[in-house]
């Protein structure tokens, strides 16, 4: 059975992001995926890269010690789905911290002659499900860092055969119908994931 690691990064269980997260998990589960549901806030994940962790950052495999359980979950995944809101044109701090602390040398990448080589190539499918407060144009004018990080940096270390970036823009003015429609779109995408 294929395993999907679902990373969820929103602190409020009544949020629209929580509804998206629930739809992702339910749909993947119905489709026969073994879902490792990682709610970073509920699990109390600390996003802070400590001084000791930074000093040992390149010392694989010892660098995994403080986050070994999360490294093991990432290594066991065949798919990675990230569910998060975009805040201030970036990830919520807890998700950024996960990438800083868990996507380590020897885990997500290898350095070969100073170049980053992918090391999560067992992850065959990658998706992001997100919302933006502003319009797509506003995100583009700001460079849309979250989209680029997922579709370039995270994609690079995985090299998945399937990649989806699903975003609801202009959340600040989204109608009930727009939010419901996006939930349906996410479900449809996860059915074919």
pLDDT tens-digit map of 50-63: 999 999 999 999 99
Mean pLDDT of 109-138: 95
Q: What is the pLDDT of residues 109-122, one digit of tens each?
A: 999 998 999 999 99
Mean pLDDT of 184-192: 97
CB-based contacts of 166, cutoff 8 Å, min separation 6:
127, 128, 129, 130, 182, 185, 186, 189
For the cut 90, the answer to whether the pLDDT of residue 76 exceeds it is yes
Mean pLDDT of 41-48: 98
For the cut 90, the answer to whether the pLDDT of residue 1 exceeds it is no
Q: What is the pLDDT of residues 155-168, one digit of tens each?
A: 999 999 999 999 99
Mean pLDDT over each residue of the chain, to the nearest integer: 97
Give the global pTM.
Answer: 0.96
For the cut 90, the answer to whether the pLDDT of residue 77 exceeds it is yes
Asked if 91 and 102 count as a contact pair (C-beta separation under 8 A), the reply is no
Distant-in-sequence contacts of 64-73, Cβ < 8 A, 24+ apart: 64/104, 64/106, 64/107, 66/101, 67/101, 67/102, 67/104, 70/38, 70/45, 70/98, 70/101, 70/102, 71/102, 71/104, 71/107, 73/5, 73/36, 73/38
* Residue 80 confidence class, pLDDT cut points 50, 70, 90: very high
Mean pLDDT of 137-147: 95
Q: Write down the pLDDT at residue 34.
A: 98
Q: Write down the pLDDT at residue 53.
A: 97
Domain boundaries 3-191, CATH class: alpha beta
């Amino acid at each position: 059975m294929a395993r999907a690691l679902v990373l969820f990064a929103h602190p409020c269980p009544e949020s629209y992001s929580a509804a998206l997260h629930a739809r992702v998990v339910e749909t993947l589960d119905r489709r026969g995926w073994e879902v490792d549901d990682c709610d970073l806030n509920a699990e109390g994940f600390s996003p802070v890269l400590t001084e000791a962790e930074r000093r040992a950052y390149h010392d694989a495999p010892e660098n995994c010690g403080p986050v070994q359980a999360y490294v093991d979950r990432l290594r066991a995944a065949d798919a990675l789905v990230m569910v998060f809101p975009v805040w201030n044109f970036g990830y919520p701090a807890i998700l950024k911290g996960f990438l800083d602390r868990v996507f380590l040398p020897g885990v997500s990448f290898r350095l070969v002659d100073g170049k980053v080589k992918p090391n999560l190539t067992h992850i065959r499918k990658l998706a992001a499900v997100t919302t933006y407060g502003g319009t797509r144009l506003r995100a583009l004018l700001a460079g849309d860092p979250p989209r680029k990080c997922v579709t370039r940096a995270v994609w690079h270390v995985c090299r998945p055969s399937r990649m989806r970036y699903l975003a609801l823009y202009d959340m600040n003015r989204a109608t009930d119908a727009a939010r419901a429609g996006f939930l349906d779109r996410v479900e449809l995408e996860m059915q074919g994931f």
